[in-house]
Amino acid sequence: MTGTARHGTRHGSTPRDTGTADAPPARLRRAARGTVVVVAELARRLWRHAWPSTTGRRNRTYLRERLVALPLLAVVAFGALGWAYADVRDDSAYLRSRLAPALVGLANARASLFIAHGEAVANLDGTGAVELVGLSQRYRTRVARATQSLNQVARSGALTVAEEQELRVVSALVVDYTERIGRARSNARDAVLRDAELSYARSMLCSTPVAAADRQERYPPCRPVTGAGATSIVDRVAGLERELRGRLADRAAWGPGVLAAAMVAGVALVLLAAGLWRTTVFLRHRFRIRLSLPLAVAALPLLAVPLLTADALLAQHAQSRTVPLAHSLAARTSPRTETIAEERPFDGPDPRAVEVLEARIDDTLSDGRLAFLDGVAPFVLPAGSAGAVLVGGALHAYRREYLVVARPGAVT
C-alpha cells in the first residue's frame, strides 16, 4: 500500500510539474500575441495618418489629419537625419583633427628615439670624436623631434585623463633616457661604465633584452610587452597606440544609434514626400490649387537629402579606410625606414614612412566628403522644422478659409 501511494504520488506530481514548466512559455506566447496586436494597431493608425484615403473624406477632416501628420513627419525625419549626419561628420572631423595626429605623433616619437639611440651608440664607439664634438646633430635633432611629437600628442585632445598621465610618464622617461646617454658620453673613455649606461638607457627604451649578436645592429629589434612588465618607453607608447587605434576603429564603424536614426529618417522621409505629394494632388482636385507655394517651399529641403546621404556614405567609407593605415603606423613603420627616407630623399617616398602614411590618412579623410557641405549639419533640423511650420500654417489657413471652387458641389 505504501508502494502504491508512493507510485501514485510520483505519477500525480508529473502533470503538475509539466504544467508549471509549460506555464511561462504560454504566458510568453500570450504576451507576444498581445504585443503584435498593439504594434499592428499602432502601425495601422500611423499609416492612416501618414497615408489617408481621399475617397469619401471631408475636406476639413483630411486637412486636419494632414495638419498633424506632415509637420510631425518633417520634424522626425529631419531630426533623425540631422543627428545621424552630424554624428558621421563629427567622427570624420575627430579622426582628422585629433586621433590621426596623435597616432602620427606617437609613431614619430617612437621612431625618433630609436634613431637617436642608434646614433648615440655609433658616436660613442668613436671615443675621440665624442670627446671633441659631442654627440651628432642627428641625435640631438631626433631627441628634439621625439619631445616635440610627444608634446603635440598631449595637445591633440585625443587622450583621456589616464592616457595623459601615461604620456607624462613617457615624457619623464625620455628625459631620464637622455640623461643616461649624457652619462655614457661623460664616461666615454671607460668602456665598462659607458656600456653599462648604454645598456640601462636601452632598457629604458625597450623592455626586450638585447642579445650579444644584436649589438652589431644599428636598430636592434624591440617587441613591446603588455601587462605589469610594460614599463619601458616603447611599451607605454605601444599601449597608447593600441588605445587610440581601438578608439579610431570604434569611430570608423557604423554605430547602432546612427543605423537606427538612419532607418527612422528613411521611413519618415518617404512618408513625408508621399504625404506632400498626395496633399498637393488633393488640393488640386478639391480646391483647384495648381501649386501650393508653402508646400513647394517646404518640400525644398528634401532635395538636399540625396546630397547629405552621399556625403555621409563617403565620409563613412573614408573612415573605414583609415583603420588599416592607422595599423600601419604602429606595425609597419620602423627607424630603419625613417633613416633611409632621410638619407635618400631622391629615392621616392616609402609607403611605410610616417610622413607618407600621415599624408595618406589626411588625404583619405579630406577627400571622403563633399567640401561644399561643410557646416551644413547644424542646419538640417532647423530646415525641417521650418518646413513643418510652413506646412502646418498653410494647411491651417486652407482649412479655415475653405476656398470656394468653381464647380458647384465639389466642396463638401
Query: Could you tell me if residue 152 is inside a domain?
Result: yes
Contact 169, 197 (CB under 8 A): no
Task: For the chain, count helices (H), then strands (E).
Answer: 14, 0
* Strongest mean pLDDT among 122-126, 240-244, 331-335, 392-396: 240-244
Provide the residue range defining the domain that includes 220.
Answer: 57-401
Backbone angles phi, psi at 348, to 5 degrees: 100, 155
**In the structure, what pLDDT confidence band is assigned to residue 269 with cuts at 50, 70 and 90?**
very high
Residue 384 lies in a domain: yes
DSSP state of 228: G
Q: What is the pLDDT of residue 48?
A: 64
Residue 190, in any domain of the structure: yes
- When pLDDT is cut at 50, 70 and 90, the band that residue 190 belongs to is confident
Higher-scoring residue by pLDDT: 69, 402: 69
Backbone angles phi, psi at 327, to 5 degrees: -65, -35
Q: Which residues contact 332 (CB under 8 A, 6 or more apart)?
A: 352, 357
Residue 337: inside a domain, yes or no? yes
Q: For residue 334, tell me if it sits in a domain.
A: yes
pLDDT higher at 42 or 383: 383
Question: Alpha-carbon distance 391 to 74, whole Å?
Answer: 9
d(CA 187, CA 195): 9
For residue 331, is it within any domain? yes
pLDDT in tens, 31-71: 778 788 877 877 776 666 555 555 555 777 777 788 888 99
Domain count, the chain: 1
User: Exposure of 63 by Cβ count < 10 A (0-12 exposed, 13-18 middle, 19+ buried)?
Assistant: buried
In 3D, which of 105, 149, 142, 104 has the Cα closest to residue 123? 142
Q: Is residue 31 part of a domain?
A: no
The confidence score (pLDDT) of residue 22 equals 46
Residue 42 resides in a domain: no
pLDDT at residue 301 in the model? 94
Determine whether 401 is exposed, middle or buried from the number of CB atoms within 10 Å of its CB (0-12, 13-18, 19+): exposed
Compute the distance between CA of residue 32 and CA of residue 122 in angstroms, rounded to an integer. Answer: 76
